[in-house]
Amino acid sequence: MAGVLAAKARFGSGDAEGVLLSLRKRHPDLIIQLVRLKKVPESRTIAMVGQQTLRAAETGALLAAKPEVDLLLRLAGTTQIAVAIEESGYRAKGEMLLVAAGPARRLSGLRKELVGDPSYQVLEGETVSPAGLAVVERAALLGTRS
């Protein structure tokens, strides 16, 4: 079974690339992305968007060549990679968020690692606000083809 994990991340933008590469190296079975969002949605909203990326990877319907980029695009709400990087990449303005998706067993290991690190605050909860539903819907609509 697959799942999604989200955590607020607290470290400098200059450290972000190294942290991201290190996490991806230690957890190669997971899709891991760092994003910056002006308003961090509820963890359930992030999980729903992450599940869209997982499903797209399974069905060959990714928005980009790599699932990590697909996840960034969906969270940014655009199909334009340059726009997503500028508005929601880890160098953008806003709160930094680590999002990981993949097998539940592998996520469990990452969760344990993050809970023990003061640089992260793992997000929990099952609520989805109307604004969160709009984020999920926008992300889903990106995958539709006309």
How large is the angle between the packed helices 130-142 and 67-76, nearest 10 degrees? 130
Confidence of residue 77 (pLDDT cuts 50, 70, 90): very high
Other Cβ atoms within 10 Å of 73 Cβ, number: 24
Whole-angstrom CA distances from 133 to 2, 29, 79 are: 21, 28, 19
Provide the residue ranges of all domains of the chain, joining segments of one domain with +: 2-142
Give tens-digit pLDDT for 11-68. 877 899 999 999 999 999 999 999 999 989 999 999 999 999 999 999 999 999 999 9
> For domain 2-142, is the CATH number 3.30.2380.10?
yes
